[in-house]
Structure 1
Amino acid sequence: MPPSPSVIGILGAGKVGTVLARLALAAGHRVLISASGSAERIALIIEVLAPGAEAATTSEVIERSDVVILALPLGKVRSLPVDLLVGKLVIDSTNFWEPVDGPLPEFTADPRGTSEVVADLLPGARVVKAFSHLGYHDLDERPLPTGHPDRVALAIAGDDECDIAEAATLIDELGFEPVPTGPLATGKDFQAHTRAFGYPLTPQELRDAIANPIEREG
């Protein structure tokens, strides 16, 4: 696998964002986080939930990071500084939940996967989908070393093999088994309400779920 990024930028200081920050810090990366709210509030959240990470503005996180992870509400993607993300590896961990996000017609009216719409909203960014189908509690509690037989699998979808490989290295370092699924369009097969979503699965179980991604109720 290629070397992973040394500076991880996380947009969003909620449950997923702070868990990923802790995992990245444990793997030896420098971590920058931005979120909505006052700088003082963000700094306090990070000090408590991701000690060692650095609070910064959204623009600073993007400019100073080697990879940017989207861990913010899906509706806020449209407000990101698109020009700063051009050429950046962007890992989309977002999911669409209408009770929380609202109708978001650009997503609800589009038959494609949500990450394909995100890629359209961020032209020029190198978007891959990952960290999106496992709950924050499993991300927090289930990392294991490379080669461990009980390792939980994480899917990656993207349109560039080098971007997928870079994301896979990061996933491996954070304690999970990377499972590339193919182009970004295949991200639809492990987004919310599919068989792969919300359960800790082995690599083969994940591949089987993605091969038959019939939506679950709820």
Structure 2
Amino acid sequence: MTTYFSETQICCICGSENECSMLGSTNTMGSPDLDLRPPPMERETMHVWFQECHSCHYVSVDLAQESENAKSIVDSEPYQAMISRSEIPEIARRFALCALLNAHDREIAATALLRAAWSCDDADADELAKSFRNQSADLLVKMQPFEDSEEQATLATTLVDVLRRAERFEEASKIANLLLKFKAVKRTPVMLAVVNYQLSLCDSQTAERRQVQDAIEAA
């Protein structure tokens, strides 16, 4: 069961008062996607993961908290242009704004762009979803070389799926083959199954969404 509650937040950028819907509790049922998008019911709570000021469109988990250089970023041309892009689904646009606010941190920005792609998936906006995945992948690729640790291996495994879903099969396969040499992957049966499954999907040039459970069953 998912529950929500209402909270008033004062925007730190423009001072506007915002009535925000906040997540109280939720649960998960089923398997996450290969890019770690959570299963229902948690995946249906994306509309409250970030709040957006109704006045200046500043985006944050807490509108009262100002992120680094937030005011100048909100006033910037790229941010204002993103606000005006009505063809982008509302939740996806919110995540794209989050990526702009966090451009100084590649991983946070890439994660926000991937979540924008998820929102476009939900809206059947396939080309927009692919575009956001490409942007996310471009940021994550720049974080190479990945260390042989559980955290970095998980990030690289997610990148493999982002690349595959963007139909960048050769790049995805190259990283997947590197991951097979990681001790962090070899000692984690689920991660090893996912990497091998990704290689088979790349070989068949399959770009559709798949779940971790699919990889486990295919192992």
Shorter chain as denominator, the TM-score bin is 0.3 to 0.5
With a CA cutoff of 8 Å and minimum separation of 6, indicate the structure with the bigger relative contact order: 1
TM-score (normalizing by structure 2): 0.32
Instruction: Looking at secondary structure, tell me which structure has more helix per residue.
Output: 2
Instruction: Looking at secondary structure, tell me which structure has more strand per residue.
Output: 1
Determine which structure has more spread, i.e. the larger CA radius of gyration. Answer: 2
